[in-house]
Structure 1
Amino acid sequence: MDVKNLFRPHDTDTTAADTYAAKIGYLAALIAGTGTGADVVALQEIGAPEAAEDLRAALGEPWQAVVSPHPDRRDIRVAVLARHPLTEEAQIIDLSPSGLPAVPDVDGDTLTHLGRGALQVRVHCGGAGLRLLTAHLKSKLLTYPGGRRYPLDEDERARGAGYALLRRTAEAVALRVHLNEVLAAAAVNGQPGMPTFCAATSTTGWTPSRRSCLKARRTEMSTVRTRVTRSGCTTSDAAYPPPAPTPASTKATASSSTTSLQPATSNSD
């Protein structure tokens, strides 16, 4: 769920404070009222950890939050909210040498890390639980040498757009490479150790090439893709693989880029 630059306003700005309170209330109602109520929500564009805590507090107990400490230059980051206990498993920051390690940036250097850190958590929702990774890939905003937001000529504009495409692709590949390692390490008899979901937002849309970077075999991983609609809300485009036959399984459905879980009936781990 892209919460659109959710920043807590300054105490002296009463108008912004009223708007912020209304937005927090709206988001909490949207999350709690999605179908039978969401159990897990992957958030993008959280402005600061305090904003995630305000949203968690609006939802009330037993909601928990885990927030990435690796924002972009604008202090935008990702987070996860859940009704169930959460364990932080990984902060994904670096571009793996196994992915696309030699991608140039606009300043002539080589990219070494994601623009916004991705976050991987384990949701303890019965049985083995599930694994969720949330990420916010490079946005459609173009940046030019020295942090400029405008090009000096049309050649530079074209290069800036190309560099942005390269960064988005490198970030998508980095997530796939990371999840390859996670899935291989957790595999049991050729099957994933637990259901694994990737909730990644790309405000420029999911082209076939970027989609294929994250695409998994149907026995491996579910990819939840979010897009922005004209109304400004987010919807999800999800394809969940059939669960592998295991003693305990977790059923999942998706609505508005949230995941609603039914805990497994078995307590085996």
Structure 2
Amino acid sequence: MTEPISKQHLLWEETIPGGAHWSFQMKRGTALRITDIAGGANLATLLYNQEEKLERYNMADTLKAQHTAHLSKGFVCYSDMGRVLASIIDDSCGWHDTICGMGNAALVERKYGNADYQQYRNDMHRNARDSMLIELGKWGLGKRDIVPNINFFSKVNADETGALHYQAEHSRAGDFIELRFEMNVLVVVSASQHPLDPNPEYAPRPVLLQAWRCGAPDENDYCRNFRPENARGFYNTELLFR
């Protein structure tokens, strides 16, 4: 378990119930700890430049610039402008999926059946794509602004034939990831089940969000020096704030 964030440093905290969604702003120099409360969580996440939302998280650039197919401590999340939206400064999980996208209404109904609001109220079956669209609409964004997302706490690897395999029970209760924001970022999340989750039951898990001020990184920062390309990404980002 990681050390708790002291009350004097904590800006806010929020629990996202399983199946729920939310969007919020994180300022440059702040950090966000995401904790898997019960184990088995999946948090679909999209990131946008709060000042110019046409700039957003780019999965392809993030992966190819850092020679990886997944995210963990040291890696950063690149925008499509070659800037760093956020850095992963700590992580107990070790692997976060970047390639499998999010579920939609058809997938959820096929796997778990139909459970609408009229009958089930807050226990209705939600899906990540529609949840993202609800949140994006609050910021003047829509369908064309959905891009390949991050699935925090989920691990998917490929075998020799290229087939993808979801690793059940990868994230345990208390596992966490910490993001430091290098720009002013709009964060959009959905605590939905991973699209490859083999669980036949609709059972999305809750996550805890905690934000605090951490300051901007210096030249010796671990994430800046984790990959040679990251130094350039940080330089491009810092030009916005000089």
Using the size of structure 1 for normalisation, the TM-score is 0.26
Greater helix proportion: 1
Using the size of structure 2 for normalisation, the TM-score is 0.27
Larger of the two Rg values belongs to structure? 1
